Structure 1
Amino acid sequence: MTGTASVADMDQLGADVARPTLRGLGARWRQRRTAAAQLRHLTTYAGRPLVALTTTVHLLAGAAPVVFMIGTGAALQHLDDGGAMPWLALAIGAFLGQQLLAPVQLVLSKAVARRVDAACLTRFTAFALQRAELATLERPEVADRLAQADEAFEQWTLTPGAAVEGGLALVARYTQLVGAVVVLGVVAGPWVALAGAVVALVARAGQTEAFFRWGQLIRGFQPLRRRATYVRELATSTRAAKEIRTLGLVDWLDERYAAENRAVLDPLWRWRRRVYGVPFLTYAAVALAGSVAGLVAMARSAEAGQVGAAAVAVQGLVLCARFGVMFPESDVKLVYGRSAWEALLEFEAQAQHDAGPQAAPTEGRITPAQAITAREVRFGYRPDRPVLDGLDLDLPVGTSTALVGVNGAGKTTLVKLLTGLYRPDGGTVAVDGVDLRDLDAHAWQRAFAITFQDYLRYEMPLRENVAMGAIEHRDDDDGIAAEVRRVGLGDLLDGLPLGLDTPLTRALPGGRDLSGGQWQRLALARSLFAVRHGASVLVLDEPTAQLDARGEAEFYDQFLDLTRGVTSLVISHRFSSVRRADRIVVLDGGRVTESGSHDELVDLGGTYARMFEVQARRFGGTDGSSTGAGDDEMRTVQA
C-alpha cells in the first residue's frame, strides 16, 4: 500500500509544475511533439480506414457551423431583395447535417477508442503476466504505474483509446476555427481575422497548458492516490469484512480513509489554484482585449453597415472567443488517456530493462531429464539482507525432496528461484546443466505443478478451480472429478447442486463457499490435475497447513503414490509430512546445512534431529506422527 513519495515530495512536484520557465517552455514544446507522435502511433491500432472515415466525419461536422454562419448572414443580407430563401435553406441544411453527424461522430469515435484500447490492454496484460519479472511488479514505482494504467482500463473512460478519440475530435474544433478566421477575413478584413485568430490561439494555449500541468500533478500524486485506493477497497470488499467487524475497525478505517484522501486532495486543490488561477486571468484578459480589438476593427470596416456581414463577423468572433473554454470531448481524455499510455510505456520499459535478453521461445514445456541444480545461489529482496547466501541443492528427477527450516529461512523464495519467477543475484539455477537464463521461462514454468502456501481461491466454478492447473484441459470432466475425489472431496462433489459447475462463492446464484481445509484440498487437486496432464515437477508449500490431523495423515499416507515418478519438492514444518520423502534438506542461514533421509538426519544429531525431537516430545510420540510445533520451538533448538 505504501508509496515511495511523501506529501513533501508532492508539494515540491507542485512547485515545479506550477512554475513555468523559459527552459520549461522548450521542454514543453518537445513534450507536445512527443504527445503528437504517441497519438499517431496509437491510431495505427484502430486501422487507417476507420481513422480516415472518422476524420472525414469530424471535418464535415466542423464545417457545418461555418456553413450555418455564412447561410444565416447571407439570408439576413438578402431579406429585402427576396433572395434569402436559398441561403436560409443552406443554413437549415447545415444545422440538420450537424445534428445527423453528431451520433455518427460518437459511434465512429467509440469504435476507434475500443480498437485502440483492445490492443493496449492486450499489450498491457502480456507484459504484466508474461514479460515482466515478479521482482519488477513488486517495485513501488512500477506498482504506481500499474495502478494508473489499471485504473484507466477498469473505468473504460480515460484510456489511451479515449486519448485518440479526443485527439481526432479536435479536427472538428479546428475546422470551425479555420473556417471562422477565413470568413472573418472575407467579410470584415484581415485585422479582424487576425484579432480572432490571436484570441482563439492564446486562449487555447492557456487552457491546454494548464491541463498539461494539471495532468503532471495527477500523475505525480499516484503513490498517495494508491494508498487511499487501498484503504477504500479494504473497507468495501468482503475479504476483510470479518476482521473489520469483529475488531471494531469501522470508525478507524473511516478516519484513515478521510486522512489518506486529505493527504491527496489538500495539496492538489492548493496547486490547482496555482495552475488555473493567475494564468487563467492572464489569458482571459488577452482574449478579452483581442475580442474588443476585433469588434472595434469590425465596426470601422467598410462592411460594418451591412447587416449580413456584421452578423457573420460577430458569430465568427464569438466562435474564436469560445476557443478558450474546455472541450469536454477532447481535453480531459487527452490528458488522462495519454497519461495512462505513458504509464504503460514506462512500465514496459522497466520490465524490459529488468528482464534483459530473452531466450528463444520453446514449444510446449521443458521437462528435466536428469536434475534441477542450484550452485552458489545468492538472492535478497534487499541488497543488504540476503535470504539465500551460497546455496547448493540438487533435485534428481523422479525423486521426492522435503525442505525444512524456520520461517524466513528462504524456502518459498527458493521455489520462486527454481521456477524462474526470480533471477538469482549470484550463482546459477540450471536444468540438466543448462542455466535457466538460457531457457524460455514460460516453457520451463509449464513443467511445474505448484501449490503455494498462499494459494488462490478463485470465485469460479469448481471445474475452473481445479482445471487452473492445466487450463487447456478444462473439458476433462473425468480427470477433474478423479482428482477431486483423490484429495478426499468426493462427498463435497456429490453434494454440490450443480456438480463441477457450482460456483465456489456465495456471491453467485447457486454458489457455495468452502472451509479452509476444503480449499487447501482443492488447491492440491489443482496441482495433481496439472501432473495428470504432463507437469513433471510437483511443488507443495505447506500443503496440509489447514488440514486437521486425520486429513493430514490420510494425505501423507498417499504421498508416495501421488508423487511416484514425479520430481517433487515439499516444504513443511510438520515432520510426519517430510519423513516420507526420499531426501530431506535443512535450510538455515541461506544455505543447505543438512541433507539425507529421515533416519540419517536423526542419527546425525544435528538441527533436524533437535527439531524432530521437539515436535515428538511436545505431542507425545517418538515417531513424529502428531505434529504442529511452531517456529518458536524450532528456533529454540537451533540456538
Structure 2
Amino acid sequence: MPRRTSMSENLRVITTMLQMAWRADRTAAVLAFALAALQAVTQSAYGLWLKFIVDGPLAIGAVGGVISIAATVAIAYGGQRAQSRLRDHTRYLMNGQILNLVSAAPTLELHENPEHLNELYAFQREGYQLSQVLPRMIELCAVTVQIITTAVLMVLVDPLLLALPLFAVPSLLITFKTSRIFRESGERAAEPGRLAEHLVELTATPGGAKEVRLFRLQAEMLRRFQRAHQQIRRFHGQAQLQAAGWSLAGRLVFIAGYAASIALVVRRVAVGEATIGEAALIAVLAGQVLGLVSGSGEVLQLTIRGLVAANRFVRLQDLFGHATHSGDRPVPQRLEHGISLRDVSYQYDGAAQPSLRNIDLDLPAGSTVAIVGENGAGKSTLVKLLAGLYNPTTGTITIDAENLASIDRTHWQDRISAAFQDHARFELLVREAVALGDLENADNDPKVLDALERAAATDVLTALPRGLDTQLGSGWPAGVDLSGGQWQKLAIARAMMRPAPALLLLDEPSAALDPETEHQLFEAWTNAAHALRERAGTITVLVSHRFSTVRMADTIVVLHHGKIAEHGSHKDLLQSNGLYAELFNLQAAAYR
C-alpha cells in the first residue's frame, strides 16, 4: 500500500532542498527567489498603470507602464540567469550525493529487500525531477507573491472582489489530491516496471540473449513484458481519469467565480460606482488570476512531483544512512586470536526458513579454512556474514573477542580482500580493473603484475593485444571481450592486490575453471596464506563445491541445510566416514 507523507515530512523535504540550494550557491539562491518575487510584483502592476492611463494623466500612466515593462524584462533576465546557475550547481551537488547514496551502506540487505528495490526503482524513474524542484519552488514563490499583489489591488476597487482569488483555492487544493493520485499510481507501477526492465535487459545482454534464443523464449518474454506493461498502463490510466475529474470540478468552481466578478464590475461601472479605469484594472487582474489558476495548478503539480522525488531521496538517505551507521571500535592491525561465531543465524527477508542456523565456529588467526557443501547449504551467506555484508539475524560474530557490531564496518572491510563467483565485470583498462582491489597501488604496475601472477592470470594478459592497456568490454572502442574464465581470473587478481588483509575470502571464484586449474590455484592460495600468517595473522577462507581442491586446508567446514554437519581436517573427516567422506567419494568416483 503506497504510504502518505505527513506535513512534517514535507516540511523536512522542502527544508532539505533549500539547504542544498544554499550549499550549492547561496548568491544565486537569494537572487533567484528575490528576483522572482520582484517580477511577480511588476507584472501585477500592468493593470494599475492601465488604470492611470484611462482615469488619470496619460503621460504618468504611459511612463509608468514603460518602466514596469522594462523592469519586468530586466528582472526576468536576471532571474533566469540566477536560476540557471543555481540549477547547474545544485544538480552537480545532487548527483554527487546520489552517486554516494546507494554505495554508502556497508551491508547488502537494503539491495535485496523488494520494498527498498521498488523505492529505488521509483526514485531512478523520477530522479530527473530532482533538478527541477528548486526552479518549481521559485515559480511557486513568484505565483504566491503575484496572487497576494493581485488581491491587494482588487480590494482597493471592491472588497467583494477578494472572493475571486478565493474561488481558485479549490482548484489549488485539488492539485494536492491529483498529485497524490499520480504518486500512488507510480508506486503501484514500480514492481511491474522493474519486471518490464528486467525482461528487456534479459533479451539485450549476451548471457540472457543466448538462453532466450536457444529455448525460444522470445514469445514468452514478450507476453510477460506486455502483461507488465498493461498493469503499468492500467495504474496510470486510472490515475489520469481520476485526476481529470477532480481538476474539472476545480476549474468549474473558479469559472463561476470569474463570471461573477466580471458581472460585479460591469454593474458597478453601469451605476457609476466604479470608473472605466478601475474596470480596466479588474479586467487585467481577472485575466491574470485566470492565467495564474491555470499556470499555478500546473506549477504546483510539477512542484509536488519534484518534491515526491525529493522525498524519496530524503527517505533513501535515511535508509542508507541508518544502514551506514556501525560501531566505532578500531580494527586490530594484526589478528591475534581470530574470528568466532556464536549461535549465528541468518534469515533472508521473506524466507520461510533461516539460511544459516545456530552456527558455532572458530576461525583461528593465520588459518586456512575451507567451506564446502551442496548448493543452497549456506556457504555464500556465511562468507557475507564474515565480510560484514550481512548482519546476523541472531547471534554474534567477534574479531579478536571484539563484537563485529561494535567495530567500524567500513574499516573492517578495508582489511578484507575477496573474490566471488558472481564477480563484477569492470569494463576498464586491464590495469585499472585489477588495481581496483587496492586503490593505493592503482598506478603501481609491478603490484598489478604480481597480483596477476599470484592469480595464475598471466595467460590472460599475454592473450590481450595491448597488455595492461587493453580496454575490456566489446561495447567500447577497441574493447576486447573475455571468456567467463578470463573474467574470473581478473577478479581473483583483484583480490590479490591488497598486500596483507586480515581476511581473504575466495567464494567459488574459480567455478568457471577446470578442476585441475582450480586445484593449482587453491594450492597457490594456500601457500600464499602461509606467507601471510606471520605477517598479518590472515585468515583465508576458501569456498568450493569441489571437495578434491580443498584437501590442503587446515580446517574443512561442511555445511548441510544451513547447519554445520561436521568440521576438521581432510584426513579426520575421511576417517569419521560422515557426510564429507560420502560427498568426497562421490565426486572422486565421478572424475575417474
What's the TM-score once normalised by structure 2's chain length?
0.89
- 329 and 206 in structure 1: CA distance in 2 versus 1, 3 angstrom threshold: closer
Residue in structure 2 matching 1:598, options 553, 570, 573: 570
Per-residue deviation at 1:570?
A: 0.7
Say if 1:372 and 1:432, in contact at 8 Å, map to a contact too.
Answer: yes
In the alignment, which residue of structure 1 is the partner of 2:375?
407
Deviations 1:318-356 (A, max 9, x none): 11122332548833442222222332444455556778x
Residue in structure 2 matching 1:55, options 25, 33, 49: 33
Residue in structure 2 matching 1:136, options 110, 131, 134: 110
In the alignment, which residue of structure 2 is the partner of 1:213?
181
In the alignment, which residue of structure 2 is the partner of 1:322?
291
Where structure 2 has 5 or more consecutive residues not aligned to the other structure, the ranges are none
Say if 1:539 and 1:570, in contact at 8 Å, map to a contact too.
Answer: yes
In the alignment, which residue of structure 1 is the partner of 2:583?
611
Deviations 1:242-281 (A, max 9, x none): 323333333332232221011122133124312331x323
Say if 1:304 and 1:310, in contact at 8 Å, map to a contact too.
Answer: no
- 235 and 439 in structure 1: CA distance in 2 versus 1, 3 angstrom threshold: same
Alignment size in residue pairs? 580
Distance 1:224 1:556 in 2: 44
Query: Aligned pair 1:369/2:336, yes or no?
Result: yes
In the alignment, which residue of structure 1 is the partner of 2:280?
311
In the alignment, which residue of structure 2 is the partner of 1:90?
67
Distance 1:75 1:349 in 2: 58
In the alignment, which residue of structure 2 is the partner of 1:632?
none
Where structure 1 has 5 or more consecutive residues not aligned to the other structure, the ranges are 1-8, 18-27, 621-639
Q: Percent identity?
A: 26
SS at match of 1:513: coil
In the alignment, which residue of structure 2 is the partner of 1:74?
52
Query: Aligned pair 1:176/2:146, yes or no?
Result: yes
Say if 1:399 and 1:582, in contact at 8 Å, map to a contact too.
Answer: yes
Query: Aligned pair 1:511/2:479, yes or no?
Result: yes
SS at match of 1:404: strand
In the alignment, which residue of structure 2 is the partner of 1:36?
11
Deviations 1:482-519 (A, max 9, x none): 22233333343245344323221011112111111111
In the alignment, which residue of structure 2 is the partner of 1:630?
none
SS at match of 2:104: helix
Per-residue deviation at 1:217?
A: 3.2
- 502 and 400 in structure 1: CA distance in 2 versus 1, 3 angstrom threshold: same
Say if 2:28 and 2:86, in contact at 8 Å, map to a contact too.
Answer: no
Distance 1:169 1:361 in 2: 49
Per-residue deviation at 1:235?
A: 3.9
Query: Aligned pair 1:272/2:247, yes or no?
Result: no
Query: Aligned pair 1:293/2:293, yes or no?
Result: no
Distance 2:314 2:79 in 1: 33
Say if 2:118 and 2:190, in contact at 8 Å, map to a contact too.
Answer: yes
Deviations 1:526-551 (A, max 9, x none): 11112x2x313211112321113453
Question: Aligned ranges for residues 116-515 of structure 1 at < 5 Å?
Answer: 117-118=94-95, 120-121=97-98, 125-126=100-101, 128-131=102-105, 133-153=107-127, 157-159=128-130, 161-186=131-156, 188-192=157-161, 194-277=162-245, 279-302=246-269, 306-327=275-296, 330-350=299-319, 358-360=326-328, 362=330, 367-381=334-348, 384-515=352-483
Distance 1:333 1:142 in 2: 25
Shifted more, 429-438 versus 485-494: the winner is: 485-494
- 281 and 95 in structure 1: CA distance in 2 versus 1, 3 angstrom threshold: same
Shifted more, 442-451 versus 264-273: the winner is: 264-273
SS at match of 1:424: coil
Per-residue deviation at 1:317?
A: 0.3
SS at match of 2:343: strand
- 463 and 603 in structure 1: CA distance in 2 versus 1, 3 angstrom threshold: same
Distance 1:142 1:309 in 2: 58
SS at match of 2:168: helix
What's the TM-score once normalised by structure 1's chain length?
0.83
Task: State the AA in 1 paired with 2:265.
Answer: M
- 109 and 329 in structure 1: CA distance in 2 versus 1, 3 angstrom threshold: farther
Task: State the AA in 1 paired with 2:175.
Answer: Q
- 517 and 389 in structure 1: CA distance in 2 versus 1, 3 angstrom threshold: same
Per-residue deviation at 1:102?
A: 5.5
Task: State the AA in 2 paired with 1:251.
Answer: A
Say if 2:433 and 2:490, in contact at 8 Å, map to a contact too.
Answer: yes
Deviations 1:199-225 (A, max 9, x none): 333332233432233323323443333
SS at match of 1:301: helix
Residue in structure 2 matching 1:535, options 481, 501, 517: 501
Shifted more, 466-475 versus 403-412: the winner is: 466-475
Deviations 1:441-474 (A, max 9, x none): 2211222111112111112221222122112321
Task: State the AA in 2 paired with 1:130.
Answer: A
Say if 1:583 and 1:597, in contact at 8 Å, map to a contact too.
Answer: yes
Distance 2:273 2:432 in 1: 77
- 511 and 99 in structure 1: CA distance in 2 versus 1, 3 angstrom threshold: same
Distance 2:133 2:355 in 1: 45
Distance 1:301 1:32 in 2: 43
In the alignment, which residue of structure 2 is the partner of 1:114?
91
- 31 and 545 in structure 1: CA distance in 2 versus 1, 3 angstrom threshold: closer
Distance 2:146 2:241 in 1: 31
Per-residue deviation at 1:43?
A: 0.7
Distance 2:11 2:522 in 1: 63
Say if 2:455 and 2:496, in contact at 8 Å, map to a contact too.
Answer: no
SS at match of 1:330: helix
Distance 1:514 1:370 in 2: 41
Distance 1:76 1:249 in 2: 76
- 68 and 248 in structure 1: CA distance in 2 versus 1, 3 angstrom threshold: farther
Measured on the aligned residues, the alpha-carbon RMSD in Å equals 3.0
- 143 and 169 in structure 1: CA distance in 2 versus 1, 3 angstrom threshold: same
Distance 1:511 1:328 in 2: 51
Distance 2:247 2:574 in 1: 80
Distance 2:501 2:190 in 1: 41
Per-residue deviation at 1:477?
A: 1.6
